[in-house]
Amino acid sequence: MRVLAHFVPGDKVLEFLEPHADWLDVRFCAEDDDNTFHHELPEAEVIWHVLRPLSGDDLVEGSRLRLVHKLGAGVNTIDVDVATQRGIAVANMPGANAASVAEGTVLLMLAALRRLPELDRATRAGAGWPSDPTLGETVRDVGGCTVGLVGYGNIAKRVERIVVAMGGEVLHTSTGDDGHPGWRSLPDLLAVSDVLSLHLPLTDGTAHLLDADALARMKPGAILVNTSRGPIVDEHALVEALRSRRLAAAGLDVFAVEPVPADNPLLGLDNVVLTPHVTWYTADTMHRYLELAVDNCERLRDGRDLANLVNQVGG
């Protein structure tokens, strides 16, 4: 079975796959290597997809494709409609990266609350002593904060457990009142959260959910953390809120355009902590991804039902 894996493997990935080499022919391609991608695509039966968008044209070009398996949960980077029209199954891995993204979320939360990038730069420059007196007025403990979660799926619930263990109060919002005592409407959540963390998929209904009006409703001095999808936030409005210091800081793993353009004004702000969409990317998550990806390839090979399908194909 020919698989096009849209990422560069490390030694542990190759070691994991070696026992399956008698039936699984995995060809690797860096996400920014379009030449190799288009060379391999016509022969691929399966794509292990990460982030580089798969367009309808790509799916047409992949004339032998039977399965696109997202290494992760969000399938907004796949043209699922075209895949369905062409009889190509699309599957994902809900929850497989939840532990890693939750820890990465708290990492960004802490780094923003504790002004970590600024202190790191000052220490390296020999300017860390005497201590900045504003630290005692601005730096916060998670345990002293109200943390608001927008979305309440697998990742958000893991974040909740970590924050509660650190002494923080956690509230959340979701599609409707779920009966949980921590549920609040979005406007109420914006008004009371010291830290607002986003955990929801990108859809037509969530694009720019955090627009200028929503950001203006946030508690003055609050911190925004986004490890979900960049377009959920209006970046221009966010830049203005951070420049004016109405929001104290942001911790961002995702962006409206990825890779982030060099002229993105977020890159020039000293109250923003940035990572390149990698909170999911750990050895532990990759091991879980590979187990699930190989399992679905075995199911496809053996004619069994595929796991975690997001579309319906065939009769």
Mean pLDDT computed over every residue of the chain: 96
Confidence check: pLDDT of 285 > 90: yes
Domain that holds residue 44: 2-92+282-302
Is 52 in the active site? no
* Cβ atoms of residues 132 and 121 within 8 Å: no
Based on the domain organization, do 13 and 135 belong to the same domain?
no
Confidence check: pLDDT of 265 > 80: yes
Q: Which tens digits make up the pLDDT trace of 58-112?
A: 999 999 999 999 999 889 899 999 999 999 999 999 999 999 999 999 999 999 9
Considering the candidates 43, 118, 240, 258, report the single residue annotated as catalytic: 258
Q: Radius of gyration over alpha carbons of the chain, in Å?
A: 21
In a domain, 165, yes or no: yes
Considering the candidates 49, 115, 172, 277, report the single residue annotated as catalytic: 277
Based on the domain organization, do 14 and 151 belong to the same domain?
no
Based on the domain organization, do 127 and 231 belong to the same domain?
yes
Q: How many domains does the chain have?
A: 2
CATH code: domain of residue 135: 3.40.50.720
Q: Which tens digits make up the pLDDT trace of 4-51?
A: 999 999 999 999 999 999 999 999 999 999 999 999 999 999 999 998
Helix (H) and strand (E) counts for the chain?
12, 11
- Predicted confidence at residue 51, as pLDDT, reads 87
- Determine how β-strand 249-252 pairs with β-strand 272-274: parallel
How crowded is the C-beta side of 18, counted as CA atoms within 13 Å?
7
Which are the contacts of 24, defined by CB distance < 8 A and separation ≥ 6?
1, 3, 17, 294, 297
Helix extents (H) in the chain:
11-17, 34-40, 56-61, 80-85, 98-113, 116-124, 135-138, 154-165, 186-192, 212-217, 235-243, 283-302
In a domain, 313, yes or no: no
Based on the domain organization, do 157 and 197 belong to the same domain?
yes
* Cβ atoms of residues 232 and 210 within 8 Å: yes
Based on the domain organization, do 228 and 286 belong to the same domain?
no
In a domain, 311, yes or no: no
Q: Which tens digits make up the pLDDT trace of 215-246?
A: 999 999 999 999 999 999 999 999 999 999 99
Is 43 in the active site? no
- How far apart CA 246 and CA 237 sit, in angstroms, is 11
Is 49 in the active site? no
- Predicted confidence at residue 315, as pLDDT, reads 57
DSSP-derived 3-state class of residue 40 = helix
